[in-house]
Structure 1
């Protein structure tokens, strides 16, 4: 039989009602300016549906004066003699920190925060923080009468749960920052899984099985496999490969398979640009990975290993086209997996600071429609190593057990 004891600290004193004086943000006086801002920003910017819905609910309920001080010891003190024993309410003070931290970084902070004609502000958060960024913070800025850069684009997520329940720091359920680092799973694997599983339209769940599947099937067998096959073949000595030198593509303009791939990739990159412009990060990542899948299919259909002896010109075209796709993937995936992108560019022996521009002034992606032209012929690539290693069942099982709950609770359950 297992007994569980919960210890609570209870104050023995009698509650006392006290008068206190607080500062309020007079939201009703800012109603007209705020509604005008919300109507314009939500129409011209990219607002997630939950951000629109939550903001509308606040407006329909009616704006009320909002208390911005608290009778607490911890926090940012109010710089006023009458309120020197109070601190600011965190969600009044915290957004102002966006501006102050910029001012700490550079004395030219007004180029970002007082330049709405030339600066677009994007904000990302969980849905429970939406009203502080679409109602309270804009109201505080509008109330000053100054020309502030106001938030135009907001991407708010739903909730991320853990396995079959919820994350809980107090109970030790779930994986948090230091825990994730301690697993030795590369940071970019975490980034990929969480972004591909991002709860943009509905709640999602972190599961160890899901992480393993995403890693082994999508990163290792799809993305990693494509890049390694291309670069390792080019790196083979002459007679079996190209001695690490990128060959010319003599018949790319008349090679049907390469032309078909280029058209498909061009369309996918246009979709990628559209998704990213609309802050559809999950969709953008999915499209980038679809390009990797197209690359794998292209390699298989071309049977480049046979062409090397039977049709050298076509093999060279396939390899130069494929290495261009590798470069495209490094660029497209950099916002999601920066370390991965850096590693790929290093293996390509390319400068990480020099990326191609996928779109012209009209938003069209012409360069991507000729992947064989992205890296020059006779360019020497670097050392080739696999980018991902398999995440095995025993490791996943160990992580699942480790993060199932606090040690004390696990011991209690075992008894």
Structure 2
């Protein structure tokens, strides 16, 4: 009743009001415990999730219809509901349980009913209400199921300022990425995590992808690892040197490294993956600062014992990096272990400084990451621009027909065909081309604002074009233009000259 003249955009049909019967989930009867469970017991939930739930609760929950009048879907399994199907977001969560039961017929209940099970919903923001309010009410009403401990919903990730859409091919396709960026699986993982829309919508851009690779993975993590390994190879025959007496600064550095473990764990446990990865990268920043401050390339000239201690500390930090990077950069962590010639180290050892023993032989030092050049990024951007152009062409709809005119008004237009004798750009006018036309009577000059679409105007010489011959002449840039050249406007705004399909005599009328 609130819609103004509603009609279908596909068929033009007008909606018809009909009486129907539906089944409802009485959310209002569950509002009290939901308020306690969400607003008081789960204040640690992400702000976007907590805030959306709070807004629903503050407005007051209403019974929600869980049946639909559709010819597809799961039938409502109650008497008198013939012809009704379940609302998709009432039915879909039940599928989580039935899928578990199908996969684990003998043990499925422990995943959904045991108190020591931790149930977490990883979803998008458009499904927050269903997983925080509707589904928990269903579980609570049944009585034997546990409730989710957390619902770390993300907001939306856009691509180059536009909504990701597989149907419009506006996406970064994984198989294409792996072919075009071989060996760079972790770069994409890193950028997606660093740019994750955890509490607000975010945007993936290829320039940001390049910057994070070059300025963070290469310049911070890769740089530290390479320096620690190359200096060890240079001064200590590629073996872990002995640690001598530690300075106060050494101990401060080791203490800072020890703190990383607890910080990363806390962030992972609360599903702040972006901040957890940033904290893991801080370990490499600590290492870089340590090398920059201690300058082992200088101490090597006067004090090899001190140099050995510095590089011993740097290598222990490197070994710790192979642990802390594992959740975020698994392929790079594996390569790093090959550089260090170590097996996979357990997470529990993160923060220790005896991971590499004195005298342990290291592997061959290689670059952990490589710089991505502008040309590579420009190619990816161009691919998206081409996609956008294709989408615009596919989605193009002709403009509405203009107001009708009498036939005798049309007959007043004198449209003719002429042959281009000369064509050149008008000096100091970016848009204008000057045409000299053979019109079958006398030569005439016409100016046209199509220079952007014909960068080599001399190529138009000899071509036949259509023009309006009886427009009143007017001066443009001091040149008298005697008519109007006709062009067609494409879906992308580009212009193309209109020409006859066969050559005709100059001055032939268009009828």
- Partner SS, residue 125 of structure 1: coil
Q: Is the 8 A contact 1:323 1:372 kept in 2?
A: no
Per the TM alignment, residue 222 of structure 1 is displaced from its structure 2 partner at its CA by 0.9
Aligned counterparts of 1:201 and 1:275: Cα–Cα separation in 2: 15
Residue 146 of structure 2 corresponds to: 149
1:18 Cα deviation after fit: 5.2
Q: Which residue of 1 aligns with 2:113?
A: 114
Matched, 1:246 2:251: no
Counterparts of 1:217 and 1:275 in 2: how far apart (Å)? 24
Structure 2: stretches of 5+ with no match in the other structure: 1-7, 394-490, 495-511
Maintained 8 Å contact 1:120/1:152: yes
Aligned mates of 2:85, 2:375 — CA distance in 1 = 50
What corresponds to 1:400 in structure 2?
381
Greater strand proportion: 2
Which blocks of at least 5 consecutive residues in structure 1 are unaligned?
1-7, 359-366
Q: Distance in 1 between matches of 2:147 and 2:327?
A: 24
Distance between the aligned counterparts of 1:414 and 1:347, measured in 2?
55
| Inter-CA distance 105–386: structure 2 relative to 1 (3 Å threshold) | farther
Q: Hey, what's the Cα distance between the residues in 2 that align with 1:140 and 1:157? A: 23
After TM superposition, the structure 1 = structure 2 runs for residues 168-179 of structure 1, keeping only pairs within 5 Å, are 168-178=165-175
| 2:368 alignment counterpart | 387
For 1:362, the equivalent position in structure 2 comes to none
Matched, 1:357 2:348: yes
CA contact (8 A) 1:216 1:391 kept: yes
Q: CA separation of 1:133/1:372 partners in 2, compared to 1, >3 Å: closer, same or farther?
A: same
Shift of 1:280: 2.3
Q: 2:492 aligned with 1:413, yes or no? A: yes
**How far apart are residue 215 of structure 1 and its match?**
0.7
Cα gap change, 1:265 to 1:63, in 2 (>3 Å): same
Distance 2:197 2:12 in 1: 44
Contact kept, 8 Å, 2:324 with 2:347, in 1: the verdict is no
Separation of aligned partners in 2, 1:162 and 1:200 = 16
Over the residues paired in the alignment, what is the CA RMSD in angstroms? 3.0
- 1:327 deviates by 2.3
Q: Following superposition of structure 1 onto structure 2, how do residues 247-266 of structure 1 map, counting pairs within 5 Å?
A: 247-251=241-245, 254-266=246-258
1:67 is matched with 65
Per chain length, whose mean CA-contact separation is higher, i.e. which structure has more relative contact order (CA < 8 Å, sep 6+)? 1
**What's the TM-score once normalised by structure 2's chain length?**
0.67
C-alpha change, 1:351 and 1:101, in structure 2 (3 Å) is farther
User: How many residue pairs get matched?
Assistant: 387
C-alpha displacement of 1:20: 4.7
Secondary structure of the structure 1 residue equivalent to 2:10: coil
- Give the Cα–Cα distance (whole angstroms) in 1 for the partners of residues 333 and 82 of structure 2: 50
Residue 120 and residue 75 in structure 1: after superposition, are their counterparts in 2 closer, same or farther (change >3 A)?
Answer: same
> Per-residue deviation at 1:283?
1.8
TM-score if structure 1 supplies the norm length? 0.81
Q: What is residue 434 of structure 2 aligned with on the other side?
A: none
> Aligned in 2, Cα 1:99/1:246: closer, same or farther, shift over 3 Å?
farther
Are the structure 2 counterparts of residues 100 and 315 from structure 1 closer, same or farther at C-alpha, using a change threshold of 3 Å?
A: farther
Residues of 1 paired with 2:280 and 2:9: CA distance?
53
1:141: Cα distance to partner? Answer: 0.3
Asked whether the equivalents of residues 34 and 142 of structure 1 are also in contact (C-alpha less than 8 Å), the reply is no
| CA distance, structure 1, for counterparts of residue 322 and residue 95 of structure 2 | 34
Say whether the 8 Å CA contact 2:39–2:50 is kept in structure 1: no
CA–CA distance in structure 1, aligned partners of residues 186 and 80 of structure 2: 50
Could you tell me how far apart the structure 2 residues matched to 1:324 and 1:78 are?
62
